[in-house]
Structure 1
Amino acid sequence: MKTALSLAASPDTILVTHATRVLGNNAVRLLERAGKRVIALARSPEQAARVLAGSTARVVCLEPGDSEQLAMLLSEADAVIDAVQKPSRETRTATLDLLRIADARGVRRFVRLGAPLDAATRERAAQLSLAVIELHTGWVFGPYDAEPPSSAANFVIDLIKRRLPLAPPGGVCVVDARDAAFAASVALELADDGARYDVAGLYHTSSELLTILGRVSGVRPPRFAPPYAVARALAATQQRLARIFGRPSGLDDETLQMLNEARPISSAKAECELDAHFRPFAETARDTVHWLLHAGYVHTAELGVDLEADIARASTLPMERRP
């Protein structure tokens, strides 16, 4: 069994994948504040300049399949945070390459943050010498969610822009990206190889989420809460109309299905072993709305409260406004 590092051998240089997405971005910023050297992987220089504004990380734009440059970067790293929120065939291939090259270059620690590894990747990881740890997140909200916004950020945007026709049935565990990033930083130091943690956050019904978001934004949330089959039919109709008229739609079928099928998940193991903690959703909602306003995804005129006086808070969340 490959065991956890001692604190004396704490990793100093961490490579973070998907650094322009909400999990990776927050991991980059937290590690920087902890005094770590961070290599942030991105796709587009322009996107990275906007989304990682204020970061001191070394930003590297890497094309998919560029194994040579990836190997050079990993030769400088002690550890990796692979921040994959939504898995796909492309991310699976990228993760397999990342594991293989990281192991060959002597990287000691690999934390998968977000979606679980699939069985084949997990089996391959067990054959390597580096320690591989998994942190599985709930529905991730928080600042720095951009380009394109995740389903969680779009949920907030759609509420503020009055595009939600209904309160979806069901509910989900919600985690702040900053809390997930903190748990990952502790896992880098302390978790044993092969350990898996749920950092799912706190469970809320969809109506509870909308009520809290409505209170923060001053936008009245939808009260109509139909059964799942009716909600799907209404959402499908809205999406068809949106395509006809060339405008954004509200709820998509994937989000509806996720909310309907999700169940409460215990994060007790992460709370005990990684000192994971989960802030109230009201705090996450406030910071998410503030950041979306600062970044230009929503506008003051769309809110039912005056947040301009509070926008100075977003100076701690730097990013250029979108045109």
Structure 2
Amino acid sequence: MLVSVTGGTGFVGAHSVAALARAGHRVRLHVRDAANVERALAPLGVDSATVERVVVGDVTDEMSVAKAVRGTDAVLHAAAVYSFDSRYHSAMRRTNQRGAEVVLSAARRTGADPIIHVSSVAAMLPCAGRVLHEHTPPGAAREPYMASKAAAERVARDHQRQGAPVVITYPPALLGPHDPNLGDQNARLRDALRGLVPMWPSGGFPIGDVRDTAALHAAVLTAPRDGTDRHFGPGRYLSTRAYVRLLREVTGRPLPAAVLPAAAMLPVGLLADRLQRFWPWHLPAEYGAIYTCACAARVADHASTLGLVSRPPAQTVADTVHWLYQQGHVSARRAGRAAVPSSPVQV
């Protein structure tokens, strides 16, 4: 099968391309910079012969998107701006909803089946009942990233209601090795190991392994249509207290940290967001991250993951910390015992 992939040089996109390649599919990439393809895919062992073509452009550009999806069997729309950094708010508003509109419409016109839209559990937050399932409506959060993903979610669901072969996936907060751009979750883990996150908000968040979500995307391509067109990336909900304990267990380090009421930390996050617009270095206190912990919900046990089982969080964190150490993002001292993995890192 020839699959057009947007965002194939990002964290989720690159791992998904590797999963598609292992399943025997060929890919056509739609990327903003062709120079990033080798850097993103080579560490994952993707053979260059797997990439049929690279189309350069932005997902809001109708001409380049049409070129990228034309003649392909399926489309995986993984491109999005994901960050709680206030400097990227305008890019999120501009890209996430409009990108979904352009890519999904172009994929429908070319007859691709399935058309996989990579959403996020954040697109349905906050939610009533504190449990997420395939019928949970898009959230009404005003936080920019969550709002942009909710808007894109509405676009994808509109296509579904119209009978289009659109399948939506909902990754949790993802960790894992081989992150081409050191995205939000891996950067926060790095900062925690560096001692830059001494305070955590109460609450928690669903956490998963990027390799498991990539496997889900490969499975969706050939999964039988049984009326289920929304799938959650494998993972599990962890409280922030449990997450910090997990970091301590994996690294063998004390990592002192206080857990404060999320409501009390939200004003600090708002202040940090305003300061971040003028401060050249990244501030680890972000309103969006705090707000997510305050309103995050666990995924219902019956939610579809196509039978895929998530890696244990300890393995995911250990592999990620080891990779951060290998790449020079943290020292051996900060990686602790994860500097030497107990088992080979899998891609």
Query: Same fold by TM-score, threshold 0.5 exceeded?
Result: yes
- Which of 255, 258, 263 is 1:229 aligned to? 263
Secondary structure at 1:107 match in 2: coil
Tell me what 1:3 maps to: none
Q: TM-score, normalised by structure 1?
A: 0.80
Tell me what 1:265 maps to: 299
1:281-292 aligned at under 5 Å gives the runs 281-292=313-324
Secondary structure at 1:155 match in 2: helix
Shift in alpha-carbon separation, 1:222–1:76, aligned structure 2, 3 A: farther
The reply to whether residue 32 of structure 1 matches residue 67 of structure 2 is no
The reply to whether residue 146 of structure 1 matches residue 180 of structure 2 is yes
Cα distance in 2 for partners of 1:68, 1:114 equals 23
The reply to whether residue 183 of structure 1 matches residue 177 of structure 2 is no
Cα distance in 2 for partners of 1:266, 1:104 equals 34
Contact 2:8/2:79 (CA < 8 Å) preserved in 1?
Answer: no
CA shift at 1:36, angstroms? 1.0
The reply to whether residue 255 of structure 1 matches residue 250 of structure 2 is no
Deviations 1:102-144 (A, max 9, x none): 222221211112335432442245436x411111122122223
Shift in alpha-carbon separation, 1:247–1:199, aligned structure 2, 3 A: closer
- Which of 207, 213, 217 is 1:174 aligned to? 207
Tell me what 1:7 maps to: none
Aligned-residue Cα RMSD (Å) equals 3.0
Secondary structure at 1:81 match in 2: strand
Paired positions, count = 300
Contact 2:176/2:320 (CA < 8 Å) preserved in 1?
Answer: yes
Tell me what 1:83 maps to: 78
Deviations 1:216-270 (A, max 9, x none): 2344333311222333455567778888985442231111110111121215231
Q: Which amino acid aligns with 1:50?
A: R
Tell me what 2:3 maps to: 14
1:1-323 aligned at under 5 Å gives the runs 12-53=1-42, 54-56=45-47, 57-58=50-51, 60-64=54-58, 65-84=60-79, 86=82, 88-115=93-120, 117-127=152-162, 130-147=164-181, 149-192=182-225, 195-199=229-233, 201-233=235-267, 247-271=281-305, 274-305=306-337, 307=339, 309-310=340-341, 313=344
Shift in alpha-carbon separation, 1:29–1:127, aligned structure 2, 3 A: same
Cα distance in 2 for partners of 1:63, 1:111 equals 19
CA shift at 1:206, angstroms? 0.7
CA shift at 1:62, angstroms? 2.1
Shift in alpha-carbon separation, 1:174–1:136, aligned structure 2, 3 A: same
Task: Give unmatched runs, 5+ long, in structure 1.
Answer: 1-11, 318-323
Q: TM-score, normalised by structure 2?
A: 0.75
